Amino acid sequence: MKVLAIGCHPDDLEIGCGGTLARYVDNGHEVYMCYIANGDKGHAVIKPEKLKKIREREAYESAKLLGANKVFSIDIPDLLVKASKEDIVLKVMEVIRAVNPDLIITHDPDDYMEDHRQTSQIVFDASFSVSVPHYETQSKATSVVPLYYMDTLAGINFQPEEYVDITKYIDKKLAALDKHESQIKWMSDHDKIDFLDFVKTVSKFRGLQCNVTYAEAFRSCHTWPRGTTKRLLP
């Protein structure tokens, strides 16, 4: 099975579904990761052009640790992620068509910041548009597949429908997140939080809800024709 996870910033997938992606890999599935924003404004001192390169390196190191087959970057500056921009939608369409996944994971439409919400809408739009042959990109048209929304930051305003037990993968999830060194520092300075502990706490909380030690939470996109009788989450 091919799994495509599309996040906004280079550390978002590790936060929301890093343990699940590691578990997919361990189960023999192909995992592909894609980031829409390049994270160029996520620091108080490092300038955008330099930070963009740092975050790209961090993203590849993290994806390698998780075992991802490939990482894609749409390379949009922070705060300029807009579902109304056709060029962004077309680039995401090309990634989806190139991978031809069995399912897609992305942000919840009601996540905490606009870049995340716009990413959710972009993925929703692009993952339907890939089925229209005459809406052309380099790769050929593919089918509409099930779409899963990962947990919001801190789990706020997110009612899970499914859980994935990541107890065996919590250390790998946190190690992958720790590769994003520039952002761990940014979250400490900007938001005054220990971000690794923050993410571990949310995973513990979701685990308590489903009777395991650590878990990640998801809900399905309930629009036609994305429904399925299959259990696609590991």
3 state DSSP class of 226 = coil
**Domains (range + CATH), the chain:** 2-220 (3.40.50.10320)
Q: For residue 185, what pLDDT is reported?
A: 82
pLDDT at 101 over 90: yes
Order across the sheet with 215-220: list the strands: 70-76, 30-37, 2-7, 103-106, 147-150, 215-220, 162-165
**Distance between CA 67 and CA 65 in Å, rounded?**
5
pLDDT of residue 44: 78
CB atoms near residue 78 (< 10 Å): 19
- If phi > 0 it is left, if psi is from -120 to 50 it is alpha, else beta; for residue 78 that is beta
- The answer on pLDDT for 190 being more than 80 is no
Can you spell out the DSSP letters for 120-182? HHHHHHHHHHTT-TTS--SSPP-----EEEEPPGGGTT---SEEEE-GGGHHHHHHHHHT-HH
Q: How far are the Cα atoms of 22, 24, 228 from residue 42, in angstroms, in the given order? A: 25, 29, 38
Residue 43 has pLDDT above 90, yes or no: no
| Residue range 119-152, pLDDT digits in tens | 999 999 999 999 999 999 999 999 999 999 999 9
Nearest to 151 by CA among 2, 45, 19, 3: 19
Spell out the residues 6+ positions from residue 174 whose beta carbon is closer than 8 angstroms to its own: 196, 199, 200
pLDDT, residue 119, reads: 98
Model pLDDT, residue 45: 84
Nearest-angstrom CA–CA distance, 147 and 105 = 6
- pLDDT for 175 beyond 80: yes
pTM of the model: 0.96
pLDDT score, position 166 = 98
- What pLDDT shows up at residue 191? 79
